[in-house]
Each structure stands twice: as C-alpha cells, then as structure tokens.
Amino acid sequence: MNVTAPIALRINPDIDPETHPYISTGLRKHKFGIPIENALEYYRVAKGLENIELIGVHKHIGSQITKITPFVDALQRILVLIESLKAEGINLRYLDIGGGLGIQYKDESPPHPKELARKLLPLLRGQDITIIVEPGRSIAGNAGILLTKVLYLKKGEDREFVIVDAGMNDLMRPTLYDAYHHILPVRKNRRRMIVADIVGPVCESGDFLAREREINSVQHGDCLAVMSAGAYGFSMSSNYNSRPRPAEVLVRDGEHYIIRKRETYRDLVRGEIIPDFLDK
C-alpha cells in the first residue's frame, strides 16, 4: 500500500492496580500488552520494519483504581524502558500513561486528578515527550444517571422486590461486577424504610440493580435514579430479551435535549435478512 504506519506498542508493566479482577489489565497473567521484559526485543523488531514508524509507548493497568501507588509504579517501569530504548537509538515522541482513575460509587475515596498529577509530574520532568492521558470514567462516571420507573412490588419469602423497567441489559455493571450504584427516589418522600432487591424484567436471576438495599418505600409509577451510570452504562448495554434501549438525554441549565433516540422494536430487526428459501 506504500504507507508508513505510525505506531505505539502497548506494554504490560506487571503492576497490580488493586481493583476488581475483571477490570485489571496490567498484570503478567492478563491478555493485554507486551510483557515488559520482552518489550525491548519487540521494539527492535519494529524498528527494522520499513513501513513502520515507532513513535510511542502505551500502558494501561486497569480501571476504577482508587490508589496512586499503582500509577506511580507502572510509570516508573515504563520510564526505565524508555531510557533503554534511547540507548538503542529509539527516541519516542509519545507516552500514553493510560487511565483508570476511579470515582466514588459508594464509600470509595479515589484521589483527585490533581493528587495523581502531583505524584506523576516529578517523574516526567525533563522528558522530551508528549504525554497522553485517558480520563474515561473519572470524567464520565458521575455525569450520568439511569432513570427507571417502578412497575410493581412483590413480597417475597424473605425480602421485598421492587420491579423496575430498567434491567441488566440497560446497566450491566451490578450483574457483571456486583457493582454498587446509589439508587434514589426522584421525588423525595418520608415513607417508611424497607429492605428490598431492586430488579428488572429480564428473565435472569442475575437481573438486578441492587440487592438487599435499604430504601424509602416506593409505589407503582415512582421514578428512581440509578446514580453514577455515565461510564460503562449505555456503552455496555444490549438488546437482550428483545429489549429496545432507552433514549439518552443531555441536561444543561434546567433544559434537556435528546441526544440519542429511544430504540423501537423495528430497530431490533432492521439489519436482519431472511433467505429466500425461508420466505415462502
């Protein structure tokens, strides 16, 4: 194709981010990146390829990280690699330090980005390299909520169930990670407190948004706000159980704007093609 591709190699620094194992990506046992002990060899190979221009290095050790130490440890290992590359005549222009800074869902105390910067900047001082950061969840997570309506209430043997119109297909995190999301009534009330599972209408026992949650008693038609749904919410949603996905709405200064239309059942079959031998 007569094209030279500018590339960076993702390096696995073998650092434990101390987060949920499903979103940990920087240990030797994970599938992501080139093991750091083999990185120099790979850069040497790439340097010899005439249609490749080596311009960067990338690392990303996980998500929802609530401590600074893993970020520091990973960066230190990458900077040692960069110095080794310089000795080989490989001078990189970009260092992508990844992302993964956590947010508060329940009782976590994640560091502020300024705290992270204060620890990382001294390590980067003097480096003639462009730094790339992937803020992700830290800017999107608490910017979004999932709004859901109570369909009906069910008295179980040992708990109450609040069945709502949002389910695991809309917000997968509680089912996938047993993740916690605050759930609040849209309209404040002084009703009695109950302990309930807040569940969706999908035909799975894993279809829940919260389990054994203490909340104010709700009624049919009440709206609930599932908080901190701005990251890995809509992007992980699906049409499981033939469920159209909800609309996305942007709210600013008391005004709201639809930024993604609600799906319809027609949308679910739009891409399907029936072979002629079945269409008879």
Q: Which spans in the chain are helix H?
A: 39-47, 69-87, 113-124, 137-140, 173-177, 265-269
Give CA–CA dist 200/173, Å, rounded: 13
Residue 145: CB atoms within 10 A of its CB come to 21
**Tokens 């200064």 map to which residue?**
253
Q: Catalytic residue positions?
A: 203
User: DSSP labels for 110-178?
Assistant: PPPHHHHHHHHHHHHTT--SEEEEE-THHHHGGG--EEEEEEEEEE-SSSEEEEES--TTT--HHHHH-
Instruction: Write out the two tokens for 160.
Output: 């109450």
